[in-house]
């Protein structure tokens, strides 16, 4: 197995959150990819041309990892709004029913 393949496999494991060397939930960056591949922390260097593609993919993985919580937060916010609007709707219906029961004053 070529050494660069170990880095790619390590990146895939980190993206799937199934690392072998590191604890689950470890952030994805150059150092953690290197450690997961069983190498030294600073073994991935931008100055080495064979790592340029790996660095760009790990950067994209970092960006997609950061985007997920935003989507989850937006979804939770929309769900809370839905519950709030439903409650306001039921309150309005109750007011209307009370007005109908009491009749005109």
Q: Residue ranges of the domains in the chain? A: 3-102
Q: What is the DSSP letter of 23?
A: -
Mean pLDDT of 77-100: 94
Mean pLDDT of 65-93: 81
Pick 97 or 11 by higher pLDDT.
97
CA distance 79 to 83: 6
CA distance 97 to 40: 71
Read off the tokens for 82.
């839905």
Residue 47 pLDDT: 62
User: Is the sign of the CA dihedral 92, 96, 98, 99 positive or negative?
Assistant: positive
CA distance 88 to 25: 39
Q: What is the mean pLDDT of the chain?
A: 79
Mean pLDDT of 9-22: 87
Mean pLDDT of 31-56: 76
Q: Does the pLDDT value for residue 37 go beyond 50?
A: yes
């Amino acid at each position: 197995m070529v050494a660069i393949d170990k880095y790619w496999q390590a990146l895939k494991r980190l993206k799937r959150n199934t690392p072998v060397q590191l604890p689950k939930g470890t952030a994805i960056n150059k150092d953690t990819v290197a450690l997961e591949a069983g190498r030294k922390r600073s073994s991935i260097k931008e100055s080495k041309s064979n790592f340029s593609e790996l660095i760009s993919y790990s950067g994209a993985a970092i960006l997609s990892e950061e985007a997920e919580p935003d989507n989850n937060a937006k979804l939770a916010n929309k769900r809370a709004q839905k519950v709030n609007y439903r409650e306001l709707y039921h309150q309005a219906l109750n007011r209307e029913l009370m007005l109908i029961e009491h009749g005109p004053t």
